[in-house]
């Protein structure tokens, strides 16, 4: 039973897909790189997105800090100032007033200011305050969550009755006026905030985020997941901003100049963008993005339900499967690595375009991970193909060197020929057979070792002659040698080259006989040459194959060599004579009956031009 081995490429493709699956479903080591790529798409996509004009930021900007210092002092200002702001805005009937300012410590020097702020908040039902979830390790010392359920807009039995959490609460404000939501910044491992919490899970409780608390109050549907991926609206400062100081100044005028309905039906967010207050965060849109606009973006997303979604990991895994599968099929079919690389480059560009277009449907499509694994497989497979090609090339060179001149081998290998491409071809060949005469008498006079050494010396010289004339060495048959011209390299003058080779072989024989002295007197050869169609290729068993020619042309060349005894050392057929033209002189020896032929064959003896 023959055991079938699995291709190394198949094994590596499976390992690549296994690694891709482990990365996508478990390890997520490439997530930072994936995030950077998606951030570039999100940033480009955000430029075309318009913010909701009904969400207005009352901005504690540099202008406000300078203007308010005259009558409210340096930051932080007395809470009564915020009370004036809320009271003035509330008169215009906004949908909601949302603070992005923490009020965690009472002002012990201006208690009346805090009291006024509380009084104003007590008169509103649509003002929302932020909290911060602090270190969970300190939860045991925290506040009882059940007591905060009304402030979070939750039923009292929403979680464990004795659950506590360490929270930074607005202790400045009377608890009965609390409408609370968390504003914790959800940063990924690279410090960039791409998400906003819908709720924070704490011991069975789901503490709502500030955007979720506002959205629930306004009747906007909330997603069930704990966080959303923000769909950004333009660069920083894209939402309508009004300066805090300008609003307070106008509210204190006897005859206000601003539009009396400026905040009517709006969601008003009060927060800071002044650089000195350090309320800036890193986001995909900017490394210094105002936190108040992150809050505005989250409320905007919940209002319109157009936050982003991430494709499930099975999608990028299927992309990796298709890419690696396509590469495997291409390499198994021996496609050129450069062509495969170009196709993979085109596929990569198409996937990048698809990922960018997917954002139009609010979908983040992670394609970097499957592309990285696909390119990893490509380079490994290309290296394998190179090593395989080099091994095959070296094997081809070793094989060709057995029967071809090294210069011809270099030409053939240079144009990509191998054993597969050279097999099974029909072509016109000129076949030469050379057999030693007088070998029996010579062998009786020498030992076996001496005979082998003598034959090796002789054949080495004759093979050099064959290669010099561009011939292909087919085989040695005892004391005979067979060669042909016309394959594997095309030769338009094959008959001339074969005859010239035969004449030089005769000269080489003469020199060899002189070296042998008296022992070489009976050493002679006969050479037969014929030109005609034949089949060439690598023929043999799975264990050993030789490049050889078969067909009637080969048989006739052998028969012609058999006719040389008593006629001439070199004989050629009429077909060879005709193809040589006037390159040589020929003696016509007439027609001869040869074995296996019903018709007689006309034979000629060549010689060099006199």
Between 77 and 520, whose confidence is greater? 77
What percent of the chain stands above pLDDT 90? 79
Average pLDDT value for residue range 360-378: 96
What is the per-residue pLDDT for 581? 93
Residues 181-204: what's their mean pLDDT? 96
pLDDT at site 295: 98
Q: Residue 409: which pLDDT band, with cuts at 50, 70 and 90?
A: low
pLDDT beyond 90 at 100: yes
pLDDT of 256 reads: 93
Confidence of residue 582 (pLDDT cuts 50, 70, 90): very high
Q: What number is the average pLDDT over the span 445-462?
A: 87
Dihedral angle sign, alpha carbons of residues 134, 139, 143, 145? positive
- Residue 360 DSSP one-character state: G
Alpha helices, DSSP H only, in 220-364?
244-251, 291-304, 314-332, 337-358
Q: What is the mean pLDDT of residues 481-488?
A: 92
Answer whether residue 610 shows pLDDT above 80.
no
Q: In this model, does residue 137 exceed pLDDT 90?
A: yes
Confidence of residue 403 (pLDDT cuts 50, 70, 90): low
Predicted pLDDT at 160:
92
Give the pLDDT band of residue 1 (cuts 50, 70, 90).
Answer: very low
- Which has the closest alpha carbon to 266: 71, 397, 126, 469? 126
Mean pLDDT across the chain, nearest whole number? 92
Burial 543-553 (b: 16+ CB within 10 A, else e): eeeebbbeeeb
Quick check: 428 pLDDT over 90?
Answer: yes
Burial status of residue 382 (CB atoms within 10 A of its CB: 0-12, 13-18, 19 or more): middle
Annotate 407-452 with DSSP letters as a single string: HHHHHHHHTT--TTTTSSEEEEEEEEEEEEESHHHHHHHS-HHHHH
Q: Quick one: CA dihedral 447, 450, 456, 459, positive or negative?
A: negative
Q: What is the pLDDT, as a whole number, of residue 411?
A: 65
* Average pLDDT, integer, range 15-38: 95
Of the listed ranges 4-13, 323-332, 367-376, 521-530, the one predicted with least confidence: 4-13
The whole-number average pLDDT for the span 209-237 is: 97
pLDDT for 401 beyond 90 = no
Q: What pLDDT is stored for residue 425 in this prediction? A: 82
pLDDT exceeds 80 at position 133: yes
Do residues 46 and 285 make contact, with C-beta atoms less than 8 angstroms apart? yes
Q: Among 105-119, 407-421, 452-466, where is mean pLDDT lowest? A: 407-421
CA neighbor of 199 nearest in space, from 181, 168, 223, 226: 226
pLDDT of residue 423: 67
Q: pLDDT-based confidence at 121, cuts 50/70/90? A: very high
240: left (phi over 0), alpha (psi -120 to 50) or beta: beta
Distance between CA atoms of residues 230 and 301, nearest Å? 7
Residue 504 has pLDDT above 80, yes or no: yes
Q: What is the pLDDT of residue 502?
A: 96
Residue 2 scores a pLDDT above 50: no
pTM, two decimals, is 0.75
Mean pLDDT calculated for residue range 321-347: 95
Cα distance between residue 122 and residue 135, in whole Å: 30
Q: Which conformational region is residue 221 in: left (phi greater than 0), alpha (psi within -120 to 50 degrees), or beta?
A: beta
**Residue 414, pLDDT score:** 67
For residues 180-188, give the mean pLDDT. Answer: 97
């Amino acid at each position: 039973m023959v055991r079938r081995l699995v291709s190394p490429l198949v094994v590596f493709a499976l390992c690549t897909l296994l690694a891709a699956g482990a990365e996508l479903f478990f390890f997520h080591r490439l997530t930072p790189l994936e995030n950077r790529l998606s951030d570039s798409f999100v940033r480009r996509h955000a430029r075309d997105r318009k913010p909701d004009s009904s969400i207005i930021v009352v901005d504690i900007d540099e202008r406000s800090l300078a203007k308010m210092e005259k009558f409210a002092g340096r930051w932080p200002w007395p809470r009564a100032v915020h009370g004036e702001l809320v009271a003035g805005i509330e008169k215009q009937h906004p949908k909601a007033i949302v603070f992005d300012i923490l009020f965690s410590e009472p002002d012990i020097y201006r208690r009346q200011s805090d009291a006024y702020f509380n009084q104003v908040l007590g008169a509103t039902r649509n003002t929302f305050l932020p909290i911060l979830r602090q270190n969970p390790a300190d939860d045991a010392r925290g506040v009882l969550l059940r007591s905060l359920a009304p402030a979070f807009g939750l039923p009292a039995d929403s979680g464990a009755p004795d659950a506590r959490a360490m929270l930074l609460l607005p202790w400045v404000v009377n608890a009965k006026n609390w409408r609370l939501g968390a504003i914790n910044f959800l940063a990924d491992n690279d410090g960039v905030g791409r998400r906003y919490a819908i709720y924070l899970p704490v011991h069975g409780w789901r503490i709502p985020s500030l955007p979720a608390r506002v959205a629930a109050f306004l009747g906007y549907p909330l997603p069930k997941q704990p966080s959303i991926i923000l769909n950004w609206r333009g660069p920083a400062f894209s939402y309508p901003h009004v300066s805090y100081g300008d609003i307070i100044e106008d509210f204190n005028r006897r005859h206000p100049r601003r539009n009396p309905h400026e905040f009517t039906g709006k969601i008003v967010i009060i927060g800071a963008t002044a650089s000195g207050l350090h309320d800036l965060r890193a986001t995909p849109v900017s490394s210094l993005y105002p936190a108040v606009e992150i809050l505005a973006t989250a409320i905007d997303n919940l209002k319109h339900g157009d936050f982003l979604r991430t494709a499930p990991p099975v999608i990028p895994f299927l992309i990796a499967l298709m890419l690696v599968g396509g590469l495997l099929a291409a390499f198994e079919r021996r496609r050129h690595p450069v062509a495969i690389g170009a196709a993979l480059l085109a596929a990569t560009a198409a996937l990048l375009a698809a990922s960018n277009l997917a954002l139009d449907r609010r979908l983040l499509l992670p394609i970097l991970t499957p592309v990285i694994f696909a390119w990893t497989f490509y380079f490994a497979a290309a290296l394998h193909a190179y090593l395989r090609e080099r091994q095959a090339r070296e094997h081809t060179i070793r094989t060709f060197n057995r029967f071809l001149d090294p210069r011809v081998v270099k030409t053939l290998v240079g144009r990509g020929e191998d054993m597969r491409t050279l097999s099974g071809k029909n072509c016109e060949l000129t076949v030469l057979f050379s057999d030693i005469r007088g070998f029996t008498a010579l062998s009786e006079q020498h030992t076996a070792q001496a005979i082998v050494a003598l034959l090796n010396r002789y054949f080495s010289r004759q093979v050099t002659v064959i290669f010099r004339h561009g011939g292909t060495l087919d085989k040695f048959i005892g004391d005979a040698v067979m060669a042909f011209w016309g394959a594997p390299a095309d030769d338009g003058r094959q008959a001339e080259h074969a005859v010239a080779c035969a004449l030089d072989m005769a000269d080489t024989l003469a020199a060899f006989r002189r070296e042998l002295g008296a022992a070489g007197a009976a050493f002679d050869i006969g050479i037969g040459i014929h030109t005609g169609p034949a089949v060439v290729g690598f023929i043999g068993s799975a264990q050993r194959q030789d490049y050889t020619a078969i067909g009637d042309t080969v048989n006739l060349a052998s028969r012609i060599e058999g006719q040389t005894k008593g006629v001439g050392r070199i004989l050629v057929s009429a077909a060879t004579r005709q193809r040589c033209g006037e390159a040589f002189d020929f003696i016509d020896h007439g027609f001869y009956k040869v074995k296996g032929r019903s018709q007689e064959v006309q034979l000629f003896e060549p010689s060099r031009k006199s």
